[in-house]
Structure 1
Amino acid sequence: MAYEELLLSNQLCFLVYRLDREINARYRPLLAELGLTYPQYLVMLVLWEEDNLSISAVCERLKLDTGTISPLIKRLEGLKLVKRKRSKEDERSVRVKLTQAGSELREKARPIPAKLGSCVSLTLEEYQEFKTTLENMLTKMDQQKEA
Structure 2
Amino acid sequence: MQKVLGGKDFDIFIGNSMVHVIEATVKITDGRTVKKVRGIPKGFIDGPVEGEVTLKLDHENWLIVQAQAEQAGSWKGIEPFDVAFNAEVAAGKKNIEAFGCLPQLEELLNIKADGGEEDTTSIKCPITSPDFVKINGVPYLTADEVRDL
Taking structure 2 as the reference length, what is the TM-score of the superposition? 0.26
Relative contact order higher in (CA < 8 Å, ≥ 6 apart): 2
Q: Which has the higher helix share?
A: 1
Taking structure 1 as the reference length, what is the TM-score of the superposition? 0.27
